[in-house]
Structure 1
Amino acid sequence: MLPQYKQTATSSLLSLQWPEPPRNVLIIPKLHAPQVTESAIDFAKHIHGEYPNLNLIFERRVASNIHESLPFPIYTSDPIHFPAKIDLVATLGGDGTILRAASLFSLHASVPPILSFSMGSLGFLGEWKFEEYKRAWREVYMSGSRVAVADLSASQAHIPADAALAEGDGLRLNEAWDGVRGKSLGASRSSKILLRHRLKVGVYDASGVNVNEQLMPTSTTAESHQPLPPVPPELKHVPKLEGPIAPAFHAINELVIHRGPNPHLAIIDVYVNNHFLTEAVADGILVSTPTGSTAYSLSAGGSIMHPLVKTLLITPICARSLSFRPLGLPLNTKVVLKLSKKNRGRELEVSIDGKRRTGVTVGMEIRVEGEMVGQAEGGSWTGGVPCVIRSPATGDGGREGIAEDDDGWVGGLNGLLKFNYPFGEGQ
């Protein structure tokens, strides 16, 4: 079920519009956390009890652990089938759980909406508290339905069709939601979507052949991920220094090339739009998205970027030069990283979002550019990771424009990251 995302004149966020109710929901809890697993079971029971027509899908290792705790069927599959089946993703955990969810769609241009509950150690990307899961689920499931339903204790009441038309976009009631119980959301209430940009990454050998299939899962994902499918033969032989080719690997946070256990500093040649920029002598180089600017890049001294800013960041890791500063570039910039012939260590490690890794040697190159997002035919959107943004608990917020966009991000910046936090305060 491909959702549509509607732009509004008063907000930079998008409005989630389901053409029909979502059917297949992937639930991803944090691993090795019994309390989170119990919450996932409660969440699944609620969805099955109130929305019985939904199919609940889990990763194999999770399904094997919880299926005996649920009195109804759940489903599982190899992750390769998720992109063609999953309508909506719900994560219970921290930022790493969201990255794990996004990595399941890393070879695809479209990612289902992600409803995230903050239950991890940081949770800067997580929007909702788990105690709000009933309201959060109801909002995202009913988003754009044009159906207003009464409270559970009352009989169902639907707004008339002419009232829906009066809302201004010409949509009539969708009868597919007629049997849904729940609290009234109003005729035009919809979930807000923040579309997070990703990086497109291609790894190439010395002859210019894409070797993305050599990207292997890290130990944290090895149980459920397989090596990437090979690049089609007709796409393998392309001139060097062109943009990444399909299937590009997508990253929501960053790509990092680093010296690893090698005792010598890495020497990396950096090219921007086919022009040589600099020879970096450092522990490594990061190329990150605005979302990733508050992750590894921030720890390495990079700038904090709002996720709506269309940019990518180059951040050195412990550079030998004091004048090597983090650099912001337009999102469509093509960045190429090459292991210099001067490098004393003959191989460096490349890691993508901490989920995939490979080694690169002299002559190989990593090509990175920002993923552009946009509206396709039929109103669907391609590119990016659509994240469901937490709405105010009462009403429709009473605010418009940039304040609405920034509320959660600014709160997280101050509350979680302690932005410009004075020494000694609050001790």
Structure 2
Amino acid sequence: MLRSSVLTRFGPLHQRLCAWQTTAMPTPLSFARSFSVTARLGEILDISALPHRVQPKYKESPTSSLLSLQWPEPPRNLLIIPKFHAPQVTSSAVTFAKHVHKEYPLVNLVFERRVASQVHESLPFPIYTADPSALHDKIDLVATLGGDGTILRAASLFSLHSSVPPMLSFSMGSLGFLGEWKFDEYKRAWRQVYMSGSRVSVTDLQDPHTQAAVNRPPDDEESLQLHDAWSHVRGKSMGLTRSSKVLLRHRLKVGVYDTDGVNINSQLMPTSTAEPQQLLPPTPPALRKPTKGGEPMRQAFHAINELVIHRGPNPHLAIIDVYVNGRFLTEAVADGILVSTPTGSTAYSLSAGGSIMHPLVKALLITPICARSLSFRPLGLPLNSKVVLKVSEKNRGRELEVSIDGKRKTGVTIGMEIRVEGEMVGRTPNGGWAGGVPCVIRSPMSGNPSEDDDGWVGGLNGLLKFNYPFGEA
């Protein structure tokens, strides 16, 4: 009764309000349409929507043993990989992501699925994720926050491919021999790698419309084109000629073969319980046929550190026949055998008594693990050597365990073999490089090219305590 009297008294006003709402207010459908084109804050999107990968170029220098990173256009898709089970590192990854998004809004930020689910609510903008198999075609650059294990995890995401994106590594783990940068340098480190090869001067960045011709060589169409691509960036750059230095770390190519000579790499399983127990993509039918000796390895799994075959929980020593370039070398009786890269020479191989090798040395290192014979010493071989490890019949049917970079494993029995060879690196027809893991090296503040290798030397002295007297820290 009350409702009826109110409507009667204010009927004309009510009608006018209804008419105004009809003409001035959008319908619920129009609201839905207007917001459907804008991604929700904190949303996780699929990487398929991102542009394809930008392939960098690497230039050699007569004054440096390292390569120079040259982007043909600014990198757009950045994969951020923080250390697992480290809340402080995850927080740093969020800080880094917010900085990149704020200062470089055209960069898309990508995380592994598990990490994306942890950080997306802390980021007021959309992020991207995908299964590892989809990363290779999309990722321009990788940033790792953690120790050497985090770098290995990042490299393993591209273990089936000959081309790996450049890696910018911040040392935040228990062992940071491979990590070049401290995290408090993240702004300088990111800007350096993002601007690498842009040929943009400081004045160009500060005022691209009025100062575009300052400090640029005349009639240089390439410089002009590159400047336009980076013209949205403000602030300092690296100058016209400077660029990030890259150490291209060689990898191993590993193939596990059954008793019929068929590649079974697709049966390799992850070793980490933190990752999904996901098999590798199946071997294509054309590659399942047994290969003849001397042919290039097919369906290779790449390792940046080492391949190890060991006795596992068995109480008896493993017996392994070792062949080099098709010739029998020795019967190894030991806890196991390591085949390492120069990068891996300071990892498991070093703990087993192997030699330390500079990462630019093109070589393989065979290291026995607690060999029965004291005369079995570590061996250095050319990078293009083909090493075959066969499980001897003397193992009496016992299964040995194979581990690749500590990231994938499988079991091998009598008649099976592991084939290992060094991955060769070189130029591609489009001017890029194939092979290896390109790691961005921290540039010396002095700018002296002779200091290129100081990070490696400093690592020996500072982290490994190279040749320190016993008992001194």
TM class by shorter-chain length? over 0.9
- Does residue 284 (structure 1) correspond to residue 336 (structure 2)? The answer is yes
Indicate the SS of the match to 1:115.
strand
**1:5 aligned partner:** 58
Q: Aligned match of 1:229 in 281, 296, 299?
A: 281
- Measured after TM superposition, the shift of residue 377 of structure 1 is 1.1
Q: Aligned match of 1:181 in 234, 245, 262?
A: 234
- Does residue 419 (structure 1) correspond to residue 466 (structure 2)? The answer is yes
- Measured after TM superposition, the shift of residue 156 of structure 1 is 5.5
- Measured after TM superposition, the shift of residue 181 of structure 1 is 1.7
Q: Aligned match of 1:30 in 62, 72, 83?
A: 83
- Measured after TM superposition, the shift of residue 239 of structure 1 is 3.5
1:151 and 1:91 mapped to 2: Cα distance?
A: 31
RMSD of equivalent CA atoms: 2.0
- Measured after TM superposition, the shift of residue 344 of structure 1 is 3.5
1:47 and 1:7 mapped to 2: Cα distance?
A: 29
1:183 and 1:87 mapped to 2: Cα distance?
A: 22
**How many residue pairs get matched?**
419
CA contact (8 A) 1:259 1:265 kept: yes
Q: Aligned match of 2:268 in 206, 215, 219?
A: 215
- Measured after TM superposition, the shift of residue 160 of structure 1 is 4.8
CA contact (8 A) 1:147 1:159 kept: no
Unaligned runs of 5+ in 1: none
**1:313-332 mapped onto 2 (5 Å cutoff):** 313-332=365-384
Q: Aligned match of 1:142 in 195, 198, 212?
A: 195
- Does residue 199 (structure 1) correspond to residue 252 (structure 2)? The answer is yes
CA contact (8 A) 1:202 1:244 kept: no
- Does residue 53 (structure 1) correspond to residue 100 (structure 2)? The answer is no
For structure 1, which segment, 165-174 or 36-45, has the greater mean C-alpha deviation from structure 2 after superposition?
Answer: 165-174
Indicate the SS of the match to 1:147.
coil
Identical residues among aligned pairs (%): 77
Greater length-normalized contact order (CA 8 Å, ≥ 6 residues apart):
1
- Measured after TM superposition, the shift of residue 311 of structure 1 is 0.2
Indicate the SS of the match to 1:422.
coil
**1:377 aligned partner:** 429
CA contact (8 A) 1:28 1:101 kept: yes
**1:9-24 mapped onto 2 (5 Å cutoff):** 9-24=62-77
1:168 and 1:385 mapped to 2: Cα distance?
A: 32
Higher helix share: 2
Amino acid at match of 1:347: E
CA contact (8 A) 1:11 1:404 kept: no
CA contact (8 A) 1:149 1:158 kept: no
CA contact (8 A) 2:195 2:237 kept: no
1:79 and 1:273 mapped to 2: Cα distance?
A: 34
**1:80-91 mapped onto 2 (5 Å cutoff):** 80-91=133-144
**1:409 aligned partner:** 456
Note closer, same or farther for the CA distance 1:257–1:183 as it changes in structure 2 (3 Å cut).
Answer: same
2:95 and 2:78 mapped to 1: Cα distance?
A: 15
Note closer, same or farther for the CA distance 1:155–1:166 as it changes in structure 2 (3 Å cut).
Answer: closer
CA contact (8 A) 2:191 2:237 kept: no
2:387 and 2:203 mapped to 1: Cα distance?
A: 53
Indicate the SS of the match to 1:292.
helix
For structure 1, which segment, 42-51 or 236-245, has the greater mean C-alpha deviation from structure 2 after superposition?
Answer: 236-245
Amino acid at match of 2:375: S
**1:129 aligned partner:** 182
CA contact (8 A) 1:264 1:345 kept: no
Indicate the SS of the match to 2:187.
helix
**1:111 aligned partner:** 164
Unaligned runs of 5+ in 2: 1-53
CA contact (8 A) 2:260 2:290 kept: no
Amino acid at match of 2:161: H
CA contact (8 A) 1:149 1:180 kept: no
Indicate the SS of the match to 2:430.
helix
Note closer, same or farther for the CA distance 1:209–1:136 as it changes in structure 2 (3 Å cut).
Answer: same
**2:23 aligned partner:** none
Q: Aligned match of 2:132 in 79, 91, 98?
A: 79
- Relative to the length of structure 1, the TM-score reads 0.94
- Relative to the length of structure 2, the TM-score reads 0.85
Structure with higher Rg: it is: 2
- Measured after TM superposition, the shift of residue 340 of structure 1 is 0.2
- Measured after TM superposition, the shift of residue 241 of structure 1 is 3.5
- Measured after TM superposition, the shift of residue 229 of structure 1 is 1.3
Note closer, same or farther for the CA distance 1:240–1:265 as it changes in structure 2 (3 Å cut).
Answer: farther
